[in-house]
Each structure stands twice: as C-alpha cells, then as structure tokens.
Structure 1
Amino acid sequence: MPTTSFVTAFAAQVDARPHAPALSWDGAAVDYASLDRLARESAALLHGLPADAPVCVPAHKSPETIALLIACFRENRRVLLPSATLGDDALLRLCEQVGCSHVLTPQGVRTTGADAASLPGPGLLLTTSGSTGTPKVVVLAERGVDEFLAWAARTFGMGPGVGVLNYAPLNFDLCLLDLWAALAVGARTDLVDPERATDGDYLAGLCAQWAPAVVQAVPLFFRLVTATGRVLPDVREVLLTGDAAPPALLTGVAAAFPQARLWNVYGCTETNDSFVHRIDPARTPTPIGTPIDGVEFRIVDDEGRDCDSGELVVRTPFRAEGYLDPALTRDRWNDGWFRTGDLVRRDETGLVHLTGRNDHQVKVRGVRTNVQEVENVVLAHPEVVEAAVVPLPDEEAGTVLHAVVRRAPGSRLNGLHLRAHCAAALPRTAIPGAFEIGGEALPRTSTGKVDRTALRARRTAVAEGV
C-alpha cells in the first residue's frame, strides 16, 4: 500500500493545498497541513526501534492512526495493519509470525516479545480479508499499488476537492481506493465511524453533510441507507463490493443515488480489484463483469484445463508479491497467476458471474470468513466436547454464523463464556452470532461426520416457526 511514490504525492498535496480538507471525521474536517503535522508528531514513536523491522499498527480508524501510518511510510517502514477487533492472543501470534517486536498506537508503544525481523521498504502488510485464527499475511508490491492508485483515481474521477466515502475498516484492501488513492491526488476522505457503521440515519446523514462524489461500500451499507428513504443526488459514483447485491437492493440504490453510475467491483486482498461492471438494476443477475485494463484471467477445472465454469485464476498488474509464508505463496501463485478460490461461470456474452467458493469460506458482512477455522476455535475450549459452525442467511449481514455445541458433562458453559473465548482469537465478524449449547450428541452422517446440513435445516425450521 502507500509507497515511496505515495509519500511524494502526499507531500506535494501538502505543499500545494495545505488548507484543503484531507479527511472528515466526527463532524469536522482535517486539512492536509494538519494531517502532515500529526504525521510528523507521530514519527517520535519510531525513535529507537530496530532499523528495518516491521511494526504493528492496529487499525483503529481515526486521523491519528492514518497520520501514524504516513509517518511509518516516511521512515521506510513495513507496517502490519491487523483488524482493530482482533483478539489479543491472535494479535501476538501474528506479530511473532511477521517479526513485529513493537505495537504502535497514537497513544504509545508496547513490546510484543517477538524477535524483530528485517523487512525493508515502505508499505503495508495486510491480512487476508476475513481470515480467522492467525491470518495469512499478504505482502503488497510497490509497483502494483502505484498502478492501482492511479487506475482508481483516473477511473472514478478522484482529484482535488472530490469527496470519497470510506466505510471499510482501515485494514481492508478497499482503503487502497477510498483512502490512499484519494490522499495521493488531493481528494477528501470522509471516514465512517465504525461504532456507528450499522446506523442508517447516521450513514445517510454523513453523505448529506459532506456530499461525497464517490461512495464505495459493501451491500450492508446500501441496505441501511436506502431503508432511511433519503435521496442523495450529489453522489456520482457508487461502488458495490465485497458481496452479492440482490435485485431489490439495486433498485433501491438507484433511487437513493439518482445521479450516480453504479458499479460492481470484484477483487481480493491478493490481487486488489480485478473486475468491474457497470450495473443496470433492470438486468439480473449482476455479473462481476469484465477484467480491468491490464488484468488477464482464466477459468479452469479441477485439472487446470480452461473451461466456462470453474475456478477463477487471474494475473494482474495490481497483484501482491505473495504471502509472507513462501509455502503458501507456492500453493496459490504460479508464474504470476493467482488462484482465487472463487467459482465462476462465463455467460454467452463473455461476462463472468460469481457462483461460490471452492473451500469453507463464506462472507459475513462482506468479510470473507473461514467457517472451519471458526469451528476449530470453538472446539479448543476445554469444556466443549463437539461443535459445528454453520452459516445461515441473514437479510442485513448476508450471512451469520451459528454455533451448535455439545458441552462436557457437568459443565456450566454458556454463550457468554464461548463469546469471550472466541473474542480472544477471532475478528469480530468471525464470532458466531449465536451459540446453541446442550448436552446431546450432534447428528452424524453415514460416514460419521457431523451432519451440518441437518443442523442448518433444523435451525432454519426454528427460525421460520415450523
């Protein structure tokens, strides 16, 4: 992410337009000169830390955290940017994996006990979106980031004075577009307070107050905003990303943002955005579309042969260098091609449609989450005998996780205990929304495996009052 070129571009904006707003936060604007001053003050936190060692900056959204990140890039530091909701145990494991001996926040520095590694060069180390336990660490390529920032600003008309809404957490790759590309070209990023991210009136009011021209968010945001009935005519570019949007929602989005072009944007942390499609709400289903300029793709079957329905494999100028773990890189990358794990089909017009995943991952509030890893965390509790985690459809979140647990005889285990246990190891979105705890054995298939289909059907019947 932010690279040597970004640092130069940001400095140019500070010099040319010091009093132009760079961010809006909590009802007030922060201009480029003020953000620059905060970054210079934050640089003091880096004094005395091991040279070339990566640092960890939890992604607590605020101007101060953004300034701290800019200070790290100026000092040629690699920065691990984990979720602000990651449990402390998982955070320390992640720091040990990367070699981050220090965790930095705007309030100060603390040591992790990890041996400091050497990872020279500016930029961010992102974790895979929605991964649980100890996430995979993605090393973004400087050249790829520079090309993506330029593409995003050019494609969506970002420049001086243009407002861009930031709904995603700071550790999401979506921030490449709505934060870092915006700051590189003198635009203003309107930061959504994560504590109010499910308040539709707040979200619609923020759009009305700051009138951003570009709004990028997951479908949940648009569900919440359209439910308020507000019409926001100042928005001219709407980017839906992270999950599928049903036809009824697209119709509502078109009515709420009457002057906007609607886009479906597809990508993953490892490749940034790869496909983009101009949405016509009257035509369904919505494809992920066609590849962005410079992106190549293949659809392959289980034997790696080209086909029209199979796994999507992409090669893109925006791609990462790989994972921090070379073994994981070898498993997913080959000669610049990345296996996405997404299942797609190509229709008769050549457009590509997303049909599912080839592993155990689902999306919860737009965040890719590995159900098997969540289940492993639940099973690690000493009073859990067996457990299964099943994804269930939800109107607001898209998918919610439901855990069915058999506790040990005599145990007083309850949902609060398990929620606290999961919070120490999982991001917030990966914690099951409900825990069904009892003493009965879980149903099994004929092969002896937990029958998740039966559990899902049973829960659905309960929800429907059958």
Structure 2
Amino acid sequence: MPWRSLPGRIAEEARVRPQAPALLWHADEVSYAELHRMAGAAAARLAGLGLGPAEPVAMVAKKSPQAVAVVLACLMLRRPVLLPSAELGAETLAALVDRCGARRLPDPIQLTEGHEEFTFEGDHDPEDVALLLTTSGSTGLPKVVPLTGGAVTRFADWAAEQFGIGPESTVLNYAPLNFDLCLLDIWTTLSRGGCVSLVDQDLAANPAHLLAQYRARPVQVVQGVPMLYQLLTQAAAGDPALVLDGVEHALLTGDAVSARGFEPLPALLPKAVFHNVYGCTETNDSFLHTIDPADPMPYGTVPIGRPIDGVDALVLDEDGVELAGPGRGELVVSTPFQTAGYLDAELDRGVFSERAGTRYYRTGDLVRRHDDGVLTLEGRRDFVVKVRGVRINTAEVETALRSHPAVTEAAVIAVPDELAGTRLHAVVQRAEGGKLNSLTIRQHAAGLLPRVAIPATVELVDTPLPRTGTGKLDRKAVQRRLLQARTDRPDTTATGG
C-alpha cells in the first residue's frame, strides 16, 4: 500500500464503514464510528491542555476501548505517547514519566466522554515519533523505545499481508496495551478495517473469559505467549466438544512452548496454521517459523526459523566475528520496523551498531544456526529470562529484594513452569535476628517491580548463600540445591501466595 499513516487509515475506515465493528469488549461491540468519536473527544481535550510542540504524553491505564481511543487520539495529533506498564511500582513509574518529560494523562474514560468535534487533518512525516514503548525492565527505569509512524505502518503492512488481516478479520488481543504485540493485534487490525477482540487484563488468566470472547465473535488470528494457549487448553478440558475451528493463524511468541504445551493445540485449532514468531521491542518481529504439527520440534525445540522479508540477521561468535554457516553465537538483527535507538542515547552503546551502512541491534540471545539455515534459541547472554513473555533481569530482582533492611542476600532463579513457561524462585537470607516472612518480602518487591517480576515463590534461609572462589554469589550452586530439594522434599518450598 502507498504511504498513509495509521490514524489516517483508521479515519478512512470510520468514514467509509462507520458501523463496522472495530473492537469487541466483553460482549459489546464498538463501531469504527464510535471509536473515532471517542478518539476525537480525547484529541480535542488533549489539544486544550497547553502542551508544548514536541511534549510527549503518558497514558498509564489498563486496556479498554477508551484506552485504545486515547492512543489513537495521540496518533491523530502527532503527539508521542508513552505507554508504560500500568503495573509498574509507583516510584518507578513517576521516575519514568519524568525521564521522558511527559505529561501524565487523566483516566481514558474522562478523556473520551462527550462529543467534541475534532477533524483529522491528514498525514505527517513518517519519521515523526509516534509511540514510546518500554522494555520490560524489572527494576530501575525500563528503557524507552521510540517508534516512528513509518516503522509502525511498515510493520502493519507486513503483518496484514502475512496473516491475511482485512475487513472481515477478527483478531484476538491478549497482550496488555503497552506490549509491542499490540502493533499486530490492535493497530494492524484497525488499519485494515478488522475487529479487535480485546481480552480484559483483569480476566486474562480466566479460561472462561477467553472462551466467552471467542463465542461472542469467533477470531481468525490469535497471537500470544504459551500461557494463552495453556488457558485455551484448560477451557477445552472443561468442554470436550470445544473446537476453535474459525482460527486460521495461531502465533506463538514470547516464550518457548513445550512439547506438552503444543500437543493439544492442533486438535483444538484444527484449521490453524501455527507460527512461532521471534522479535524484540527494539526491532519488532524478526523471525518467523511455520510449525509442522507432525514434527513441531525437529531440533528438540520449536525453531525461531528464518528472517522475515526485509530483515537482515547475523550470528556472531564470541569474538564478534560473523558466522557464515552453521554454528552457535549471538543473534544480531536489523529490521524495517526497528527503533533508531533508545530515548536515552547513552544506552545505545554496545547495543546498536553500524555495519556496512546498516544499523543492527544486538539481541543478547544465543542461537544455533543449523545446516538448513534454520535458527533455534539456546539461551541468553546475560541474566535475562522471560516470564509470561516479559524479559526479566534476575540480577535486578535480586537488587530489589536486597534493598529490604531485613535481607542480607538474595538469589533469584528461573525454574520451569507448565503454565507460565518460567517462574521466578527467590532464596533470601534473613538478617540475623530478623523475623522476615515471604509475604513481607513480596510486598516490598511489589513497590519496586512489575507484577510479573515478583518471585512466585520465596525460600527464607538463615545461613549464607553459596559463593564462588572469587567471592561472587554462586547462582548455579543455589540452583543445584533447589533442584535437589525439589527432588527430595517437593513440598517444602514456601509459596508467596
């Protein structure tokens, strides 16, 4: 399609097909006309706030039709909008908004009430920043990732063509509004006149809600972390006759799906083509692999596959030398949809680099390129793990736990979990004479960490944690002890509730 901004495309849908459904929220449909009315009301109010020409705004809210409309209003106004997680600790959130120089917006419901007139005046420079997404930092300030309108539109063009998203499509949106997955679920769908089935964040772990959404309006495209598919499988267990035969494309992303987790999916979604999608907030989707239900894990895991159209990918060995053939190394990518760099340019160092005139992003992911050119993930270069699709730095979680005055030391270990893919287990050494309990330490963590980064289980000990020969915390020894304890005494780990 020729260049036209995302808000311009949505405005055209509202003009040409005003009564077509744009959003499904629980059992209620929101038409394109109503979405555009709410966005217009919000845009009129935003225009009256006296904002500076380049001053960004921050929308801190859980997903809802009104929240989607506010983001659309910002896009209509060419106003960069920061979308942090609504579950960030209060101190971290305030510091993040301040770092961006953003004005925090009122509640979306307040902004979208009424019928103030606002006319969308046309397209803008595709290099203008549209969205300020954040990496899923677990402590401190998450990195801010500016995305231009051109990058978002180029991604929407690719995704719509790849997965057949058009006016007759309904796409399930499971991820929170601040996740980059929404570029496909929400913004690609709306730019093509489709309907977005919004999953309520407060009910996202409820299989009954997911099933109700599907029954209210069957979807053709589903994208989500393995937990989503686990929940759909649970829903099917309660209704053996359940078959989601309207799904044409099922995208798995965020975490590696297990063989046990994938096994029931072909029967549950019998007409779906299954895709494993790999990408980062900084680059958006980079790799795509079509999963063969008869042999989903040809290398012992589901591959991330090959680069999508327009993506350039390199595998670098430990010395930074590009591997020409099979081998193991760090994945470095360049995509048509990526950010030019973080909002804080100091953070670009060692992460973004130029090679032969192309700007690459260093993912930190270790991959293996097989003889056929297909790639599989083999781990991380640092302490980053993924929990429910969110990247968590376990070392940073440890720092948050250690900031409690009654904590002497803490180690955080990622352990396998059938539902979430990975969960965090903390081993915390109490200060001498302390009366710390697991609830207290988790409450302390809740003020500093997003919910997904709070350890699911906390083990309290009164003896020092193991150290390496150089005096560093020996996390491998902690993990070995944990695995041994689970084998010997599987019910002794204290849960955090």
TM-score category by the smaller chain? over 0.9
Which residue does 2:318 correspond to in 1? 302
Contact 1:208 1:232 in 2 (8 A): no
Look up the SS of the partner of 1:456 in the other structure: helix
Contact 1:23 1:30 in 2 (8 A): yes
Question: How far apart, in 2, do the equivalents of 1:463 and 1:316 lie?
Answer: 43
Which residue does 2:264 correspond to in 1? 252
Question: How far apart, in 1, do the equivalents of 2:385 and 2:199 lie?
Answer: 25
Contact 2:310 2:336 in 1 (8 A): yes
Q: TM-score, normalised by structure 1?
A: 0.93
Look up the SS of the partner of 2:385 in the other structure: strand
Contact 1:75 1:122 in 2 (8 A): no
Q: How far is the alpha carbon of 1:69 from its aligned partner?
A: 0.9
Which residue does 1:454 correspond to in 2? 477
Question: How far apart, in 2, do the equivalents of 1:232 and 1:378 lie?
Answer: 43
2:464 is the alignment partner of 1:424:
no
Q: How far is the alpha carbon of 1:88 from its aligned partner?
A: 0.6
Question: How far apart, in 2, do the equivalents of 1:355 and 1:164 lie?
Answer: 31
**Equivalent residues in 2 for 1:199-348, closer than 5 Å:** 199-229=206-236, 230-283=242-295, 284=297, 285-307=301-323, 308-335=327-354, 336-348=359-371
Q: Could you tell me which amino acid in structure 1 is paired with residue 107 of structure 2?
A: T
Question: How far apart, in 2, do the equivalents of 1:329 and 1:122 lie?
Answer: 17
Look up the SS of the partner of 1:179 in the other structure: helix
Question: How far apart, in 2, do the equivalents of 1:49 and 1:121 lie?
Answer: 20
Determine which of 81, 97, 105 is the counterpart of 1:79.
81
Question: How far apart, in 2, do the equivalents of 1:132 and 1:188 lie?
Answer: 36
Q: TM-score, normalised by structure 2?
A: 0.88
2:375 is the alignment partner of 1:352:
yes
Question: How far apart, in 1, do the equivalents of 2:395 and 2:10 lie?
Answer: 42
Q: Which stretch shifts more, 269-278 or 246-255? A: 246-255
Q: How far is the alpha carbon of 1:107 from its aligned partner?
A: 4.9
Contact 1:386 1:406 in 2 (8 A): yes
**Equivalent residues in 2 for 1:121-136, closer than 5 Å:** 121=128, 123-136=130-143
Q: How far is the alpha carbon of 1:380 from its aligned partner?
A: 1.3
2:43 is the alignment partner of 1:36:
no
Q: How far is the alpha carbon of 1:4 from its aligned partner?
A: 7.0
Deviations 1:182-215 (A, max 9, x none): 0111000001111121222332332233110000
Q: Could you tell me which amino acid in structure 2 is paired with residue 366 of structure 1?
A: G
Deviations 1:362-389 (A, max 9, x none): 0111211111111111111222111111
Which residue does 1:17 correspond to in 2? 17
Which residue does 2:185 correspond to in 1? 178
Q: Which stretch shifts more, 100-109 or 259-268? A: 100-109
Q: Could you list the runs of 5+ residues in structure 1 that have no partner in the other structure?
A: 110-119
Question: How far apart, in 2, do the equivalents of 1:203 and 1:196 lie?
Answer: 8
Q: Could you tell me which amino acid in structure 1 is paired with residue 39 of structure 2?
A: A
Determine which of 155, 166, 180 is the counterpart of 2:162.
155
Question: How far apart, in 1, do the equivalents of 2:38 and 2:278 lie?
Answer: 34
Contact 2:257 2:421 in 1 (8 A): no
Which residue does 1:115 correspond to in 2? none
Return closer, same or farther for 1:392/1:334 CA change in 2, 3 Å cut-off. same
Q: How far is the alpha carbon of 1:426 from its aligned partner?
A: 1.2
Deviations 1:334-391 (A, max 9, x none): 1211111111111111111111110100011121111111111111122211111111
Q: Could you tell me which amino acid in structure 2 is paired with residue 207 of structure 1?
A: Y
Question: How far apart, in 1, do the equivalents of 2:311 and 2:273 lie?
Answer: 22
Q: Which stretch shifts more, 436-445 or 209-218? A: 436-445
Return closer, same or farther for 1:435/1:103 CA change in 2, 3 Å cut-off. farther
Determine which of 359, 375, 395 is the counterpart of 2:418.
395
Contact 1:160 1:187 in 2 (8 A): yes
Contact 2:6 2:149 in 1 (8 A): no
Q: Which stretch shifts more, 383-392 or 145-154? A: 383-392
Question: How far apart, in 2, do the equivalents of 1:377 and 1:358 lie?
Answer: 22
Which residue does 1:114 correspond to in 2? none
Which residue does 1:99 correspond to in 2? 101
Q: Could you tell me which amino acid in structure 2 is paired with residue 143 of structure 1?
A: G
Question: How far apart, in 1, do the equivalents of 2:67 and 2:370 lie?
Answer: 44
Which residue does 2:395 correspond to in 1? 372
2:69 is the alignment partner of 1:62:
no
Return closer, same or farther for 1:144/1:4 CA change in 2, 3 Å cut-off. same
Q: Could you tell me which amino acid in structure 2 is paired with residue 234 of structure 1?
A: G
Look up the SS of the partner of 1:239 in the other structure: strand
Look up the SS of the partner of 1:337 in the other structure: strand
Question: How far apart, in 1, do the equivalents of 2:363 and 2:78 lie?
Answer: 30
